[in-house]
Amino acid sequence: MTTTTPVHTLAPGRVHQRLIEPTVLAQLANLELVARSVVEGTLVGLHRSPTFGFSQEFAEYRAYMPGDDLRYIDWNVYARTDKTYIKRFFGDTNCQLMVLIDTSASMDPPEFPSPGAVSKIDYARFFSAALVYLAARQHDAVGLLAFNEGIGLYRPPATKAATVRTLYHELDRLRSTGGTDWQKALEHVQGRLRKKSLLVVISDFYTEPDDLAQVLLGLAARGHDLLLVHVLDPGERQVRLKTAATLRDAETGEVMEVSPDELATDYPDRLRNHVEALKKLTIGMGGHYLQVDTDQPLDRTLSGYLRFRARHP
Amino acid sequence: MFLVSATFLAGLILLGVPWWLHRLSAHASEQRTFSSLFLMRPSEAPVHIRRKLQHLWLLALRLLLLSVACFAFAQPILELAGSADIEATSVPDRVIVLDTSLSMNRSGSGERAFSEAQQIARELVRTLPPGGRAAVVTVDNRIELNAPLTDDRARLNAAISASQPGAARLILDGLLGRIANLTGTLASPGEELEVHLISDFQATAMPDQFNALIEGSIWPVTLHAVSGDRPNWAVTHLALRGNTIPSKDAPADAIVEVTVRGYATQAQAVDVILEQNGTPIGQRNVRVPADGTTTTQFELPPAGRGHITWLAHLGINDALDDDNTRRLVQADREQTELVVITTKERPYAYLRAAVQAAATSFVPVMKTTLDDLTVPVVVVADPGVLASGTERELVRFLETGGAVLLIAGPATRAAGRLPILDVALAPSRFDQTSRGIVAVDRSHPVLSGFAAWRDLSVFQVVKRAEPETGDVILALDDDTPLLVEYPVGAGRLMVLTTALDPEWSSLVVRPAFVAFMANLLGYLAEDLLPSEALVGQAFAIPAQSVQLIDAAGTRVLGLADTVGRPTVSVATPGVYQLRTPSRTRPLAVNTDLRESDLRRAPDELLARWQAATTQPSRQTSTTFTSSTPTSTSDTTHHQPLAAWLLALLALLVFAEPLLANNGPTTRLPREAVGT
């Protein structure tokens, strides 16, 4: 594939070049490089958390005061100066992240993506890779479930570097096909996750919110934090037809004749109501909802995720 | 002829021909693939709809024609049941579930709540229809089948009478799912069950979300609530503050704090008695406000060394007795000698600094030989220099229940052999590339409190020439073992494959090293044994073998529960003794305070629960029908259908050309549609 964008525009640490178009990322063959570009680019410029903790990243020295934990006295300094100081560190997180990717046929219909966007499955793969990279960077356990009408892939959460590298390869191999069985996918996760986890569900959510609520409730009831990432192609938000056409459902094969007037007037309202219903459902379960378009820079999507994490440490 | 006959199946393949032809017709129209038609609505253009319907009718007719032809030549026979056949019905069996949690032991107005529950259960048995069956199940933190499905009423009543409330807690969250799992093994396929849950339905047992109450329910459930709220007092808190062992620097200033709470009570004065190792040492009369809490303090005389057991109990006759006493174990903090066998000052200095900074009870002593086998833990730093006599002593020490921590070093690597285990080491060289650390066994007590090993780097390790045989707790990110545990005789051997030296790893210069060593030495010395637990609550014992002895001296653990860092739970409150090969420590087991609040959940919630479980999805009826399934008649009539099918076939052959020639209209150009 011919690339027209110089590679140096992806170098991390360049704040003014942070927002990277998904189509540019799609030109990179290495998914890990995509993830690193997105994550490092997003983190640059963010303010560091003011929360101090006793993890591994050194922040500052402070004189020992009665009541401080004796374990954090730096005895090397004490040996040299005969004064007691304690070391303070930036707080880190240690949670378990489970990424669920919908790989049904609707995630990559043949006549998409729209110009300037990537396919929904590619966007989901990039975003998942960024989450995996971010989790590995924070030493969080991360796992992956790819599903359509069955369970295509399941990797339980792990922190080992080799396992994380395997996840990039697995993500690289994901292809969209078949229908969607939410119940099977979420019951699969529910039966295997014993520890409370952060579940990031990436899909186009073409399903009844009430049906989805029934399966998500079980996960929310077990204390898992939910983040629903609703991926839409710009061409799905505004379907433009000059004349009536026959549309075929990518998953079910159902055929329907539609008129351009209806698509211009009623369809956007139904889509908006659907998005609102999903948002209400998610918030009602204490989760978080993130709607993204596939032409939206991944950095921005990741920032949304980080805001969610800030509220759900 | 059977329906699986090859000729019949081949005939059915013909059904694909019209289907394929009609699909060809459909392909003629232009289609675009869209992600989902979920939010789409069909166009109201009438010409398309009419043409499509006519095609479908024609397709249906052709498919029917071919199907009838296939079935007609298969010469089917219809098997009709005799006239005596009536609808078979089954009797739903009853599953009687008795709540045996602590709160059911409440008394008041002269009768125990559990006696009332037993009366309800017996009434359910008495009202069984003739031939009806029932099972008796008890639930608290566990679920047990006391009598399987049977129509033997004497056996059912005996099981009800034998059931008694314990001291554990009942959680209603997911209870119906657990009952469904148990009853799933009782009922045969097709049998119907109905569950009768008899409980006090404490408000404190209710889950946060209503869905958790009905989750997993597959049978109709009838809720039977026993008598309502009773006032109850309980000791909710017993804590020791200050110093009980006087020294030159710190005089004894210990205080015992006792908190008493009344649940749904009026204001009342209550006697609080405090016991130390079974001897009453103080009594207070405190006034507990209505439905409130009060705290009183006892000043204590200096105590001797050793473990001390404290008991606070109330001198009151209230609804529950078990929660009127609370127990506390004060563990002995006597300092213990930590023998460090090494000839090098550097690893000893790091180890001593960590032990002192962690404020453990260990006093490190540097030695070159092992002359005292009574110490709990021996640390050997760089064991390549061990004399053969010392190595034999260490093996003997381990086999008699001791614990040894081997820390690698340059001499170990030079010797090419790991002492005690007597295994060869693989040749290794200094590697400038540092390795990260990965926790392999996160549940191991040594790693308790360590979430991440970020920024820790290991530069050098010693590695076994043969594959690892011990339990790897920590490893490098290339899977090289870093911390390995081996059972040796009755004791435990831990091997740290890197040295306490910044040139070998950054571990010793990181704050995590202090807590890591404290955990590691505490685990080896079995200082991490728990000192308190709740009835019915599972807790882990970080020791390789353990015995739990109750106040009467009886062992309460089965053989399988005593080895390999077991997770155990205790059924009754009291002070127990935890015995490991090298330690004995008392364990205070108290009741769960949520059982002390005897107030029932709101009636509206129980009514909603009852309504939600009356008709679960799998059920169609909750009432008894007849006592036994009615037998079906064995008289059947065989009616040949071939003649009827051939007549239908002739009719369809006549209708098909009529519909095909007159029905479908010519397809209009696509651009003309909907415009």
- List the single residue in B31, B212, B518 with the smallest CB-CB distance to A255: B31
Q: What is the pLDDT of residue A237?
A: 83
Say yes or no: A84 and A158 in one domain. no
Percentage of chain B beyond pLDDT 90 is 14
Q: What is the pLDDT of residue B184?
A: 73
- Give contacts of B515 with chain A, Cβ < 8 Å: 71
Read off the tokens for B19: 């289907």
* Mean per-residue pLDDT over chain B, rounded: 79
**Size of chain B, expressed as the number of residues it contains:** 675
| pLDDT at B120 exceeding the cut of 90 | yes
The CATH code of domain B339-504 reads: 3.40.50.880
**B514 and A CB contact within 8 Å:** yes
Q: pLDDT of B477-495, one tens digit each?
A: 888 888 998 888 778 899 9
Q: pLDDT of B497-519, one tens digit each?
A: 998 888 888 888 877 788 888 88
Say whether A106 and B512 touch across the interface (CB within 8 A).
no
Q: What is the pLDDT of residue A283?
A: 85
Establish whether domains B232-331 and B339-504 are of one fold: no
Taking each helix axis from N to C end, the angle separating A182-192 and A209-221, rounded to the nearest 10 degrees, works out to: 0
Residue B310 DSSP SS3: strand
Q: pLDDT of B549-563, one tens digit each?
A: 887 778 877 666 666
Q: Is residue A147 part of a domain?
A: yes
- Give contacts of A70 with chain B, Cβ < 8 Å: 357-359
Say whether B35 and A109 touch across the interface (CB within 8 A).
yes
Most confident segment among A106-110, B84-88, B292-296: B292-296
- Give contacts of A267 with chain B, Cβ < 8 Å: 39-41
Q: Which of A60, A90, A120 is the last residue of a domain?
A: A90
Residues whose CB is less than 8 angstroms from the CB of residue B536 and which lie 6 or more positions away in sequence, other chains included: B140, B141, B142, B166, B167, B168, B169, B569, B570, B571, B592
Provide the domain count of chain A. Answer: 2
- List the single residue in B36, B509, B511 with the smallest CB-CB distance to A249: B36
Residue with token string 């020294």: B247
How does residue A172 score in pLDDT terms, banded at 50, 70 and 90? confident
B/e letters for A219-242, b = 16+ CB within 10 Å, e = fewer, are bbbeebbbbbbbbbbbbbeebebe
Say whether A56 and B436 touch across the interface (CB within 8 A).
no
Q: What is the mean pLDDT of residues B290-308?
A: 80
| pLDDT at A27 exceeding the cut of 60 | no
Residue B228 DSSP SS3: coil
- List the single residue in A75, A250, A267 with the smallest CB-CB distance to B35: A250
- Residue to test with chain A: of B34, B208, B454, most A Cβ within 10 A: B34
Residues in B 617-656 with any Cβ partner in A closer than 8 A: none
B77 or B225, which is more confident: B225
- List the single residue in A71, A112, A221 with the smallest CB-CB distance to B514: A71
Q: What is the mean pLDDT of residues A189-211?
A: 88
B163 or B73, which is more confident: B163
Q: How far is B332 from chain A (nearest CA, A)?
A: 21
- Give contacts of B452 with chain A, Cβ < 8 Å: 55-56, 92, 94, 139
Q: What is the mean pLDDT of residues A136-160?
A: 87
Q: What is the pLDDT of residue B161?
A: 92
How many CB atoms are closer than 10 A to CB A255? Answer: 15
Percentage of chain A beyond pLDDT 70 is 76
**B41 and A CB contact within 8 Å:** yes
Say yes or no: A262 and A132 in one domain. yes
CATH 2.60.40.10 fits domain B232-331: yes
User: For B26, which residue in chain A has the nearest alpha carbon?
Assistant: A255
Apex B562 CA angle, B559 and B564, nearest 5: 125
Tell me the C-alpha distance between B50 and B36, whole Å: 24
Q: How far is A55 from chain B (nearest CA, A)?
A: 8
Q: Are B576 and B551 in contact (CB under 8 A)?
A: yes
**B266 and A CB contact within 8 Å:** no
Range with the poorest average pLDDT among A3-17, A69-83, B242-256, B499-513: A3-17
Say yes or no: A77 and A161 in one domain. no
Say whether A266 and B41 touch across the interface (CB within 8 A).
yes
Q: What is the pLDDT of residue B180?
A: 83
Q: What is the mean pLDDT of residues B537-544?
A: 72
| pLDDT at A271 exceeding the cut of 60 | yes
Say yes or no: A37 and A139 in one domain. yes
Instruction: Kindly report the CATH number assigned to the domain that includes residue A286.
Output: 3.40.50.410
Q: What is the pLDDT of residue A303?
A: 79
- Residue to test with chain B: of A64, A75, A76, A190, most B Cβ within 10 A: A75
| pLDDT at B578 exceeding the cut of 90 | no
Say whether B34 and A71 touch across the interface (CB within 8 A).
no
Residue type for position A69: D
Structural domain harbouring A86: 52-90
In total, the C-beta contacts within 8 angstroms joining chain A to chain B are: 148
Q: What is the mean pLDDT of residues A177-200?
A: 87
Say whether B454 and A57 touch across the interface (CB within 8 A).
yes
| pLDDT at A136 exceeding the cut of 90 | no
Q: Name the CATH topology of B93-230+598-614.
A: Rossmann fold (3.40.50)
Report the DSSP beta bridge partners of residue B329. B309
**B452 and A CB contact within 8 Å:** yes
Q: How far is A111 from chain B (nearest CA, A)?
A: 7
Q: pLDDT of B236-281, one tens digit each?
A: 989 887 766 555 566 667 788 999 999 988 999 999 999 988 888 8
Say yes or no: A86 and A100 in one domain. no
Say yes or no: A104 and A149 in one domain. yes
Q: How far is B556 from chain A (nearest CA, A)?
A: 29
Say yes or no: A56 and A42 in one domain. no
- List the single residue in A110, A261, A262 with the smallest CB-CB distance to B33: A110
Read off the tokens for A81: 């100066």
Range with the poorest average pLDDT among A20-24, A265-269, B148-152, B250-254: A20-24
Residue B523 DSSP SS3: helix
Say yes or no: A68 and A98 in one domain. no
Q: What is the mean pLDDT of residues A207-232?
A: 87
Q: pLDDT of B31-53, one tens digit each?
A: 788 888 888 888 775 434 444 55
Q: Is residue A2 part of a domain?
A: no
**B477 and A CB contact within 8 Å:** yes
Q: What is the pLDDT of residue A52?
A: 38
Q: What is the pLDDT of residue B405?
A: 92
Say yes or no: A206 and A277 in one domain. yes
Ranges of each domain in chain B: 6-27+44-82+637-672, 93-230+598-614, 232-331, 339-504, 532-590
Q: How far is B377 from chain A (nearest CA, A)?
A: 21
How many CB atoms are closer than 10 A to CB A36? Answer: 19
Range with the poorest average pLDDT among A13-27, B14-28, B151-165, B463-477: A13-27
Q: Are B94 and B120 in contact (CB under 8 A)?
A: no
Tell me the C-alpha distance between A115 and B54, whole Å: 40
- Give contacts of B39 with chain A, Cβ < 8 Å: 206, 267, 270-271, 274
| pLDDT at B208 exceeding the cut of 50 | yes
- List the single residue in B30, B39, B456 with the smallest CB-CB distance to A246: B30
Q: Is residue A1 part of a domain?
A: no
- Give contacts of A87 with chain B, Cβ < 8 Å: 511
Q: What is the mean pLDDT of residues B446-474?
A: 79
Q: What is the pLDDT of residue B124?
A: 92
Q: Which of A61, A90, A119 is the last residue of a domain?
A: A90
A234 or A307, which is more confident: A234
| pLDDT at B85 exceeding the cut of 50 | no
B446 or B429, which is more confident: B446
Q: How far is B357 from chain A (nearest CA, A)?
A: 6
- Residue to test with chain B: of A90, A95, A259, most B Cβ within 10 A: A259
Q: What is the mean pLDDT of residues A13-37?
A: 55
Q: How far is B476 from chain A (nearest CA, A)?
A: 10
Q: What is the mean pLDDT of residues A222-231?
A: 88
DSSP string, B56-123: HHHHHHHHHHHHHHHHHHT--EEEEEPTT------PPEEEEEEE-SGGGG-EETTEEHHHHHHHHHHH
- List the single residue in B33, B41, B454 with the smallest CB-CB distance to A92: B454
B25 or A220, which is more confident: A220
Say yes or no: A205 and A244 in one domain. yes
- Give contacts of B674 with chain A, Cβ < 8 Å: 243-244, 259-261
Say yes or no: A125 and A142 in one domain. yes
DSSP string, B529-550: ---EEETT--EE--SSB-EEE-
B27 or B290, which is more confident: B290
Nearest to A196 by CA among A97, A289, A281: A97
Taking each helix axis from N to C end, the angle separating B46-73 and B6-13, rounded to the nearest 10 degrees, works out to: 160
- Give contacts of A92 with chain B, Cβ < 8 Å: 451-452, 454
Tell me the C-alpha distance between B89 and B208, whole Å: 39
Range with the poorest average pLDDT among A162-166, B155-159, B595-599, B631-635: B631-635
Say yes or no: A41 and A62 in one domain. no
- List the single residue in A54, A55, A75 with the smallest CB-CB distance to B353: A75
CA atoms within 13 A on the CB side of B628: 6
- List the single residue in A217, A218, A251 with the smallest CB-CB distance to B36: A251
